[in-house]
Every structure is written in structure tokens, then in C-alpha cells.
Chains A and B, each alone.
Chain A
Amino acid sequence: MGEKQLMKGNEAIAEAAIRAGMTCYFGYPITPQNEIPAYMAKHLTIRGGTFIQAESEIAAINMVYGAACTGARAMTSSSSPGISLKQEGISYLVGARLPAVIVNIARGGPGLGNIAPSQADYFQAVKGGGHGDYHMVVYTPETVQEAADLTMKAFDVADEYRNPVLILGDAILGQMMEPLVFKEPSGKKFDKSSWTLGNRKGRKSHLINSLSLTEGVVEQWNWELKKKFDLMAERELMVEEYMVEDADVIFVAYGTTARICRSVVHQTRKQGMKTGLIRPITVWPFPTETIAGHAEKTKHFFVVEMSLGQMIEDVRLAILGNAKIHFHGRPGGGIPAEADILKQLKAILQS
């Protein structure tokens, strides 16, 4: 075990990526994720990797695309408007079956919005964002420690499925400092020699591509991708169930809002109210079954988001009318206050 360090979420993500063997980072400045490129510019280059401040987020994601073609572990990070610019590139990564890790330290929107924390990029992250039928695993860390752990894991998952993986945080996760201990990276080795470009030495040529104008070919590729998405959905789900067994009300929240809800659960339990929390750690795949399982017993689900309500749609689909769903949300960089959640919770319990 390494020693305990105090780090910002952004720096922890950057350091974890380097430790996971990421050698190529490309990014463009945008608050609140600027510590990531700055960390890379210093620490990745010293450790022999490549850092480029790209001319745009579009260029950065396409540099990732190129580096990934060679088998290198590649990464980019940005915040909401910049992630919007990367969507075509993300779709291409999926279409060309290339692994990569993308970090979104989200901020208030729409438009230029602000630099405050937000969860309003949920739809973009889990429902596509880019064009075409695709999915990627989306991790939503709650603490700096978890941000580091999931970053390391993200590179393995990306390589395993040859698919991009998204880490979805927000300005609070990126900016807050917390103690953490870096775990050892898994050390898993992935043989990429059957598809990477370069160093050909007599083998047959490789093509990295997402286009075919021959009838039926792209459909076939999509069926193959589906098999992979199904496997990802089956094996990569991560969810935390916290004090849910006897709960009258279960919060559903991820990342920063899960922290807030956890604190509300602590307070209310002390006062004798039976509350619990389901925290999706992956929002794709979504813990549909977990939530559905509790909808048999628990009558109230309370979704808290830093948005006008996006994940609530997936919660609704999980519950299918078997329990009541309540919502508290703050858009545009607003942070839900415990007192407001508590007030609404009391009204629910009295109803």
C-alpha cells in the first residue's frame, strides 16, 4: 500500500492515469478541469509520456484516436462544452473499436453556462451524445479516492472491450482536496497485436476504420458491437446500496449528490427516519435491477440531481410504476442543500 496523500480530484485522476500506464494525453484548457492538463504537462512528460495542448477539444479527441490506433493508452479530459465538441470523436472511437479514457469534469450549462458543478451532462454521457447506436461504461466517482481507483480501472475496461470509457465528475470532485492512497494498478496485459497500426514486419496490413459502403456490413458491425455492449452491461455494473434494507425512502443519487444524500441518510437515521441510498457508480450500465428489486418493498424513491432531472428517467424505467418517485434538482451549477432535501423528505414521510 502506498502512503496517504492529499490531492485535488483532478490531480488524483491525472496521477492515477499515469500509474495505469497511460502514455499519451491530449487536452485543451477549460475550467474546472485545468489541473489535469497542467499535471500531465509536468508529470507525464517527466515520466516519458506525451502531452500536447491541442488546438481544440476536437483535435484532442482525434489525437487520442490516433494514439489509440498504435495500442498506446490514451486519454483526454475536458468539461461540458468541450465534451460536446468531442462527441463525433467518441462515436468514431466506438465505431473503430478503439480503447480510450475520457474525463468530463462537468460544469453548469447549457451554453457557456458557468464553472460551477453540474450533473446536466447525464443524458449526453449515457444516452449517446454522439451519433449512432453506441454505449460506453460511464463511471461517476463520489470521492477523490474513488476517482483515482476508477480511473485506473477505466483503462483496463477500455482495453478489455476496445471501447472508450467515460469518467463523469463535476467541479466539486475536480476541485476538492481529500486524502487518498493510490492502489497498485492491476497490471493486466492486453494483447493488441491483432489490430494495432505500425511496426508491421511482414504481417498482413491492418485497417482501423468505421466505414463500409457495402450493403449489410455496418449493420453486421453493429450486431457485433451489441454483443460487446451486452457483455459490458452484464459485467461492468457497479452500484452501492447503503442502508436500504428497511428503508421507507430510498435516495437515488450519484457522485456529488450521493455525498449529500448520504449525509441526509446519516442525519435522518439518527432521528429515527428509515432512509437509504442507492448510488450508481456506473450510470451506464445503470443499476436497473437493483432499483427494481427494492421497488417491491420500498414505496418512495427520492432522486436528487444537479440538473432538472435526467437520471430520474432511468429510475422511472426501473421502477415501472411500482413505487412513488420524488425529485429534488438544482440546474445551472446549483448545489442541492441538505436542509431543502430534508424538508421535502419530511413531507414525503408524512404523506
Chain B
Amino acid sequence: MKKVYERNNIAFDMPSPYCPGCGHGVIHRLVIDAIKEAGQEDNTIFMAPVGCSILAYTYLDLDICQPAHGRTPAAATGIKRALPDSLVVLYQGDGDLAAIGTAEIIHAANRGENITAIFVNNAIYGMTGGQMAPTTLKGQKATTCPFGRSPEDGQGYPIRVCELLQSLGGVTYAARTSVHTAPNVLKTKKAIQTGIENQMEKKGFSIIEILSACPVNWGLSPQKSNEFIANEMIGYFPLGDFKKDGKIIQRSDH
């Protein structure tokens, strides 16, 4: 029989450390497949900061740096400037990237640091148990917005990171994808590959924002979680390219 799919040995031979239905596991797989296909496993430095990505430390057989919460793009800058030929992949949650680390991502992007940011937007703080994230949707409940996020009550609006970053001169590529269905998983893979190729071609800063389920903290089954992405998240966080080869993509959804 022909083998069409097998373990990627960048992941240690152990059960996935992630919760059932969580998008992190799928995204990890896509990232390590893209690294392997690019032949970069010996040249990659994987930035696994604070959030559910801490589970990557013991799961992935890569050189890994654990920076402080939100400071991932700054630490990645230090690494990349010291080792310009290495492949530096950031793996950040929405709390890490769009709340505590907003300054760092904007400035790393604006400097055009030649790095690739994988931004997992699960609209919640996973690791700390389901608090409101900067990307939590209007009306969505979390432990710190138990009545549903209400911008009118001073809880702010969900931040659209790709739209925010696309105007910065140092950004070469910004795309939003999702992993809630098989075709979207494939598109996500393509986007990650583009982000990695850009870095290898020294094109500057790439960000791939990936909508991803957190069934445990959303209080939904894995299936209902994927429906939440399809029916609620994508309406506010439209999928597709926002910037490619340094050019802003004109879109009709805003």
C-alpha cells in the first residue's frame, strides 16, 4: 500500500499535548510540515512564548526559545539579527501578540524584521483559563466578560490584526486563514509556506493569522466550535490575503 501520510518526526513520538478539538495541534502540524518541506529543520528557531504554545517546548524537536509573554517579536529580532540566515518562526496567541505584546509586534513588523509570525487567533486566553482576549468577539462570553464582551461598556472592540499591520512598510505578507474545515486547513498550509519562503528569500516580515478553536474555554464541543468559527468569527475576521509581496490587497469587505 502506498503511504500518503505519516508522522512528521519534528514532533516527538508522544500524544498531542493539546485539548481535543483545539486548533493548536493542527497548526503545529502545518508549521512543522512546512519547515520540513523547506528542509529547514536544522536551521529553524521556533519562538514558543507564553500561552498554550508552552506545550510546544516538549513536543517539537526544534531549537526553541521561550521569550516572556508578548515579547516574542523583540526576542525574535535579537535572534534574527544575530543569526540572519536562520529561519525564525514566531508562534503567538492573541493575548501574547495583540494585548501585552502589541508594541513589539507593530515595531518588529514595521522594521521589516525578516521573520515569520504564526498568529493563533482563538478569541480567548487559553492557557490562563478563558479570559477575554483582544480578539474576543462582541457578545462573546469569557471569565472576565461573563455577560458577553461589550464595547459600549468599555471593553473595547475585537482587534483585527492583519488590517492593523498591513499599512506598515516593513510587512511583506499578511494573510488570515482558518483551520475549521479541510479546505481551509490546506489554505493555511499554503499561507504558512508563503511566510516561510518569504523569509528564506529575505523579503521581510510575514504574518499568518489563523482562526482556531478553543472548545474547552469556549464551552462548546469541537464540532460546535468549528461552526462558531464559520458562523461568527469569519464574519468579523474575514479570510484571505491582506498584503502580498509588500502590496496591500484591495478588498471589498471593509
Residue contact A69 to B65, C-beta cutoff 8 Å? yes
* A318 CA to B78 CA, complexed, in Å: 41
Q: Does A96 contact B (CB under 8 A)?
A: yes
B101 to chain A, nearest CB (A): 9
Residue contact B63 to A205, C-beta cutoff 8 Å? yes
> Which B residues, 63 to 99, have Cβ-Cβ distances below 8 Å to chain A?
63-68, 71, 74-83, 86
Q: How many residues of A contact B (CB 8 A)?
A: 41
A115 to chain B, nearest CB (A): 24
- Closest partner residue, chain B, to A50 (CB atom): B81
Q: Does B103 contact A (CB under 8 A)?
A: yes
Residue contact A65 to B57, C-beta cutoff 8 Å? no
Residue contact A66 to B42, C-beta cutoff 8 Å? no
Which residue of B64, B74, B107 contacts A205 across the interface (Cβ within 8 Å)? B64
* A26 CA to B80 CA, complexed, in Å: 13
Q: Does B144 contact A (CB under 8 A)?
A: no
> Which A residues, 1 to 60, have Cβ-Cβ distances below 8 Å to chain B?
23-24, 26, 50, 52, 54-56, 58-60
Q: Does A92 contact B (CB under 8 A)?
A: yes
A208 to chain B, nearest CB (A): 5
Which residues of chain B have C-beta atoms less than 8 A from A201's C-beta? Answer: 42
Residue contact B57 to A209, C-beta cutoff 8 Å? yes
Q: Which of B78, B86, B103, B111 has the most CB of A within 10 A?
A: B78
Of the listed stretches A179-187, A192-200, A250-258, chain B binds A192-200
A158 to chain B, nearest CB (A): 15
* Contact-residue size bin, chain B (C-beta under 8 Å from the other chain): 20 to 34
Q: Which residues of B contact A (CB under 8 A)?
A: 41-43, 45, 50, 54, 57, 60-68, 71, 74-83, 86, 103-104, 106-107, 111
Q: Given A24-B82, A70-B82, A200-B43, are A63 and B66 neighbors across the interface (CB < 8 Å)?
A: no
* A72 CA to B83 CA, complexed, in Å: 9
* A205 CA to B35 CA, complexed, in Å: 15
A193 to chain B, nearest CB (A): 12
> Which A residues, 62 to 83, have Cβ-Cβ distances below 8 Å to chain B?
62-72, 74
Residue contact B66 to A209, C-beta cutoff 8 Å? yes
- Which applies to chain B's interface (DSSP): helix, strand, loop or mixed? mixed
Residue contact B103 to A59, C-beta cutoff 8 Å? yes
* A52 CA to B104 CA, complexed, in Å: 13
Which residues of chain B have C-beta atoms less than 8 A from A64's C-beta? Answer: 78
Which residues of chain B have C-beta atoms less than 8 A from A92's C-beta? Answer: 67-68
Which residue of B43, B61, B71, B82 contacts A23 across the interface (Cβ within 8 Å)? B82
Residue contact B63 to A65, C-beta cutoff 8 Å? no
Q: Which of B41, B62, B79 has the most CB of A within 10 A?
A: B79
Q: Given A56-B103, A66-B76, are A198 and B81 neighbors across the interface (CB < 8 Å)?
A: no
Residue contact A70 to B42, C-beta cutoff 8 Å? no
B99 to chain A, nearest CB (A): 14
> Which A residues, 196 to 241, have Cβ-Cβ distances below 8 Å to chain B?
197-202, 205-211, 213
Residue contact A66 to B63, C-beta cutoff 8 Å? no
Residue contact B68 to A197, C-beta cutoff 8 Å? no
Q: Does A88 contact B (CB under 8 A)?
A: yes
A155 to chain B, nearest CB (A): 15
